[in-house]
Amino acid sequence: MSETLTKPAAAQADEVLYEAEGGIAVITLNRPERMNTISGPMLAQLTELLLKANADREVRCVILTGTGRAFCAGLDLVDATKGSGIGSEDQARAVSVNLDLRNTPPTVLFAMDKPTICALNGAAAGYGMDTALGCDIRIMAESSKLAAAFVKRGVVPESGGTWVLPRLLGWSKAAEIIFTGRTLSAKESLELGLANEVVPDAELMSRARAVAAEIAANAPLAVQSAKRLMRMGLEETFNDHVHHVYLQFLQLVRTQDFREGMASFLEKRPADFKGR
């Protein structure tokens, strides 16, 4: 994508909202009048806020959600067909001469050490589906759905879907969903293992916050190390991986949190982890 995606989104900053409290950051796509379809400023702001949450020592878990009736309905096709915005010919030409995806939401989301939960408040189509799949955990409202509509629009899953979906489902099932452009209900997503939970719409954020709080109560250095190791394990042999695990283990047993974890267990009390 073009460099415009990495510039600060000074204008239209309210297209993505941010709040952090109690070790939990909530990042909210906030373009409900367009079903949270993706614009250039929204991508830039989303990148900035993901990086902000990942760098904040006080943040231990990140929830990504949307306002209105959709989580994210994909790229803004209205802007694209008008010749502006992502997907337009002008933007495609800019990308072809200045391709740099290192600081865009899919790559930032994949590289984050902080655990991520996608609270799917509504439809996640195209780019929105890829973004949801890029999170570690997905909690879906009963009315939400995942729409792999890429080939129905003449494109491919451009933001990680062709990498993530076969790893989550296996080749054959991923091929079926991508090649048909199928839309999956929340129930179907749960049955396939794409959703961790499905909850009533009104309970979505309370449940997402409860899971985030459960994660945030644990030793943050250990949680983040576990996530890094899981990511590394996708590409490593077993022998290489166990060596990396052991090196992480040796670092963790020297931390204050390790001593607190052992003490709290022996004293039969909740642990008070400081991330040190």
196 near 137, Cβ under 8 Å? Answer: yes
- Every domain of the chain and the residues it spans: 3-216, 220-266
74 near 127, Cβ under 8 Å? Answer: yes
- Per residue in 165-190, pLDDT (tens digit) is 999 999 999 999 999 999 999 999 99
Q: What is the pLDDT of residue 160?
A: 83
CB-count burial class (<10 Å; 0-12, 13-18, 19+) for 163: middle
189 near 132, Cβ under 8 Å? Answer: no
Q: Above 50 in pLDDT, residue 273?
A: yes
Q: What is the pLDDT of residue 167?
A: 94
The mean predicted confidence, pLDDT, of the chain is 88
Q: CATH homologous superfamily for 3-216?
A: 2-enoyl-CoA Hydratase; Chain A, domain 1 (3.90.226.10)
Q: Above 90 in pLDDT, residue 117?
A: yes
**Chain length of the chain:** 276
> Amino acid letter at 193?
G
Q: Above 50 in pLDDT, residue 268?
A: yes
168 near 194, Cβ under 8 Å? Answer: yes
Rounded average pLDDT over 143-166:
87
Q: What is the pLDDT of residue 132?
A: 96
Q: How far is residue 41 CA from its own chain's centroid? A: 18
Confidence tier at 7 by pLDDT (50, 70, 90): very low
- Per residue in 223-262, pLDDT (tens digit) is 999 999 999 999 999 999 999 999 999 999 999 999 999 9
Q: What is the pLDDT of residue 90?
A: 54
Query: DSSP assignment, residue 35?
Result: T
Confidence tier at 89 by pLDDT (50, 70, 90): low
Q: The pTM is what?
A: 0.86
Three-class secondary structure of residue 121 per DSSP: coil
